[in-house]
Chains A and B, each alone.
Chain A
Amino acid sequence: MAITTHHQSVRWAFSRPNGLLLTTLIAALCVALPVLVVVSFVLTGVSDAWSHLLDTLLGRYALNSLLLSVLVAIGVVILGVPAAWIISFYRFKGRGVLSWLLLLPMAYPAYILAYTYTGLLDFSGPVLTFLRDMSAPEWMMDPLLNIRSLPGAALMLSLVLYPYVYLLARAAFMEQSANLMEAAYTLGQSRWRVFTRIVIPMARPAIAAGTLLAIMETLADFGTVQFFGVQTFTTGIVRTYYGFGDTVGAAQLSTLLLGCVFFLVIFEKASRSKVRYYSDRLRKLNQTSVTLTGWRQSVAQILCILPVLFGFLLPTTILSYWALFFAELQSMWSLITNSFFLAGFASIFIVMVALIICYANRLYPSQWLNHTTTFVGLGYALPGVVVAIGVLIPFGALDRLISQALAPFGVQPSLWLSGTLVALVFAYLVRFLTVATGNLTSGLSRVRPSIDQSGRLLGLNQFGVISKLHVPLIRGSVFTAVLVCFVDILKELPATLILRPFDFNTLAVKAYELAGDERLIDASVPSILIVLVGLIPVIWLNRSVTQE
């Protein structure tokens, strides 16, 4: 039993300067800053541009965001749930490979899928040329030609986001106790009744949680909707900020978007608490699954391969083909070194902050610290665009202050913070700190308090406990944390786009710019690099999941 003294840790935090606790507080303030800045503009009243926005564009942004969310929700459930169900309840040839192939689309940022399909389905591209040669009817070609639309964006997002639903639903199906299903059979229920009355209702919280995550990502998406010309909150925020130069309007739009995300987070947390409630560790389903043969087996294989085919195999083949044989691109090396340096530096920095927070929680556990850490965890739900605007406004103000202060010394005004990597790394910290703390917390929680206490009683001091016991035991989770942060940063488009220093390009930004110039073939090079690096944690994580 881990008993620690609550009131003592609070006393320690305030009576002695304590680096760990101080850093945790500062990190919490950092995460809070963009949100507070953005929300504070609610009180400043309505600007002219904003009232114009209300009249004309707001309705469209809201409607498009809503439509897109609904379509993606339907899409991820259609793609994710049947696959999870087949993988969990049936045995067939290729099941093992398919169970992890189905995760691979996670490596794709939706905007890269959008660029790839746009290039593939171009009027003069291979698919439509072939269809015309075959004199295919109009109704077949029209939707393909119109991929750059709201339904098209929903399809792209669904194809990369369904793994959330698949993963959570699969876990929920597999955690269900075989005893419950067998109890239902002994009560005379048919297979179908058991499925609809027991299996699906028990997995519903998990499916809901996965779908809500997908909707959060959809609302945060900028690259896909921007490229497809679908006007949503994120494109609206960027347009208001840059197009109309209206900070207040952009902040107020951001607040609206934050409000939506806030509700999604609450619903997601509620579903998750039920997931725990429904799971049962007594006896797992695995032993009772049915073996499929003949045409049933083929149907199962096809249902599972389709999402992978369109979400990963096809686009990857095409991207590699373009990148290897057609793309013309100079200065790839500076792009790669820029991206990797930035992502590497930022991810190590973020993991170091996360380590401090995790140790503060472990060494001085208390209620307020726990709440602070949960609060820091909300950063991941913030859309990149909102974080960027929330960082840009206060850093810009700080820059003006610094410039004013330095003016008497003859120093030229400059963007000391907002135009440098400081702002960008700060934004990454806000957005991805959770990724790191999540990985580290799960690693550290496996090192039980009694392990620390054994070490102390066997002659180690606090530092010895960390160096001789924690370092070897949590090395793996530290590595995973760095890796996952690295990849997330590499994929992050809107925050990088808005906050990067002048002339500083990364792979994601370059892919965005080239696609914007309709150089889709050339965009394949940075795109495939992002996807390949993005594959590493997907495979790595799947390996650790299946090992457990």
Chain B
Amino acid sequence: MDTAALMVRNIRLSYQDGMIVNDFSLSLQPQELGCLLGPSGCGKSTLLRAIAGFQELDSGEIWLDNELLSTERHRVAPEHRGVGMVFQDIALFPHLTVAENIAFGLTGWSEESQDKRIAELLELIGLTGLNQRYPHELSGGQQQRVALARAMAPKPKLLLLDEPFSGLDTELRGRLASEVRTILKSDGICSLLVTHDQREAFDFADRIAVMHDGHICQFDTPFNLYHEPTSPFVAHFVGPGEMIDARVEGPRSVSSPLGVLTHDADLEFEVGSDVQIFLRPDDLIHDDDSSYQATLVGKHFRGAHHLYEVKLDNGVVLGCFAPSHHNHAIGERIGVSLDIEHLVVFPK
């Protein structure tokens, strides 16, 4: 017996005669907050539309709480799926008030329980007292929170969020992503977010599926995606870093321009084979006391820290984090040292 809430099995989708997704599978546990992260055009929005029932499947199955929603031949209508959705363009009904928008999906509820649900949700999203406002009287962030409340109101089995924060300004975006996470966690509702913004995904999700060209590269926790990417694409997509050439020296060690580095487990590569290792800026730290010197060739002040680009004597350029007050000039020689707990190794 599978305990998953949402199960997408081997589905194939196409749009305007072009295949978008082929043999795609994904499952979410009850109460889990999942995320599809990928560059635009990777098929993530189409997938979401398929789960919501707006897109026909070419093959495969979609299950929700052990109920079969979609197959090639059969498609439960969107209104009967128990799926809620928050849209990129917010899509509040402009002719209805906040309360009427939230109550829209509560057909069959008594007036009393409707009012109770509206009050409960408005409190959850922190907009108590704005029941009678119209959407155009609210700020962008408020509108998006009302849209969330409207989608949550009928207690759907699954909530889909299609780039819900991309229309908002950067500062609001990060804050709202964590806020929405808190709201959804307190309601225990299984959700799937689609986004191309890595920070938004990290703020929101328990597990993230990184997508590329219609397939999942890796489905893992944010921490693992960042520190243990399984492919060069994932490594580059979820944060900065540099790839450098190396050669396998022993079962756990490689030789590189930075010297011999050791891994905390056995490597899957034969001794003597050429590989690449992936280093993030946090693997290399600036240390004035280090005897290992490198030339500073670029710097980006990030407030709490600097991101330095340093050129090693053998010509390799790497990123390196430095404390905020360590202000060096470009061209200066600075000390760096490695802080690697495990290696990220890819075949060359």
Contact surface of A with B, Cβ cutoff 8 Å? 1, 3, 5-8, 448, 450-451, 453-461, 464, 469, 472-473
Contact = CB atoms under 8 A, between A and B. Distances in A.
A453 B79 contact: no
Interface string B49-88: 1001111100000000000000000000111010111011
A453 B54 contact: yes
Given A457-B79, A458-B105, A473-B95, A5 B154 contact: no
Given A3-B49, A459-B107, A473-B95, A454 B15 contact: no
A1 B45 contact: yes
B91 A451 contact: yes
B77 A453 contact: no
Given A450-B91, A472-B95, A458 B79 contact: yes
Nearest to B13: A5
A457 B85 contact: yes
A461 B77 contact: yes
Contacts of B83: 457
A154 to B, nearest CB: 46
Contact of A459 (B56, B87, B94, B105): B105
Contacts of A453: 52, 54, 78, 85, 87, 91
B151 interface: yes
Given A454-B150, A458-B104, A5 B87 contact: no
A5 B16 contact: yes
B46 interface: yes
Contacts of B79: 456-461, 464
A480 B47 CA distance: 39
B93 interface: yes
A410 B49 CA distance: 63
Contacts of A461: 77, 79
B150 A458 contact: yes
Q: Which 7 A-B pairs have the closest CB atoms?
A: A458-B105, A450-B91, A456-B78, A450-B87, A6-B16, A459-B79, A454-B91
Contacts of A7: 14, 16-17
Contacts of A448: 89, 91
Nearest to A451: B91
A507 B94 CA distance: 41
Nearest to A453: B54
Contacts of B53: 456
Contacts of B56: 5, 8
Nearest to B103: A458
A454 B85 CA distance: 7
Interface in B21-47: 45-46
A6 to B, nearest CB: 4
18 contacts: A1-B45, A5-B16, A5-B56, A6-B17, A7-B16, A7-B17, A453-B54, A453-B91, A454-B91, A456-B54, A456-B77, A457-B79, A457-B81, A459-B107, A460-B79, A461-B79, A473-B94, A473-B95
Given A450-B91, A457-B79, A458-B104, A6 B85 contact: no
Contacts of B154: 458-459
B21 to A, nearest CB: 12
B292 to A, nearest CB: 49
Contacts of A8: 56
Nearest to A461: B79
A214 to B, nearest CB: 36
Q: Which of B85, B88, B93, B154 gathers the greatest number of chain A CB atoms within 10 Å?
A: B93
Judged by DSSP, the binding face of B is loop
Contact of A450 (B17, B78, B88, B104): B88
Contacts of A5: 14-16, 55-56
A3 B85 CA distance: 16
Contacts of B89: 448, 450
Nearest to A456: B78
A448 B154 CA distance: 22
A3 B45 contact: yes
A457 B93 contact: no
Contacts of A458: 79, 84, 104-105, 150-151, 154
Interface in B186-221: none
A454 B87 CA distance: 8
Contacts of B45: 1, 3
A231 to B, nearest CB: 53
Nearest to A366: B16
Contact of B84 (A3, A450, A457, A460): A457
B91 A3 contact: no
A451 B92 CA distance: 7
- Residue among A1, A6, A458 with most chain B CB within 10 A: A458
Nearest to B41: A1
Nearest to B45: A1
Contacts of A456: 53-54, 77-79
A343 to B, nearest CB: 30
B16 A1 contact: no
Nearest to B94: A473
A1 B40 CA distance: 11
B284 to A, nearest CB: 39
Contacts of A6: 15-17
A1 B15 CA distance: 13
Interface string B272-314: 0000000000000000000000000000000000000000000
Contacts of A454: 85, 87, 91, 93, 150-151
Contacts of A473: 93-95
A473 B46 CA distance: 27
A456 B154 CA distance: 13
Interface-centre pick from A6, A453, A472, A473 (highest chain B CB count, 10 A): A453
A183 B45 CA distance: 41
Contacts of B15: 3, 5-6
Contacts of B91: 448, 450-451, 453-454
Nearest to B17: A7
B88 A3 contact: no
Contacts of A3: 15, 45-46, 49, 55
Given A458-B84, A461-B79, 20 more contacts: A1-B88, A3-B55, A5-B14, A5-B55, A5-B56, A7-B14, A450-B88, A450-B91, A454-B85, A456-B78, A457-B79, A457-B85, A458-B105, A459-B79, A459-B154, A464-B79, A469-B93, A472-B95, A473-B93, A473-B95
Interface in B130-176: 150-151, 154, 156
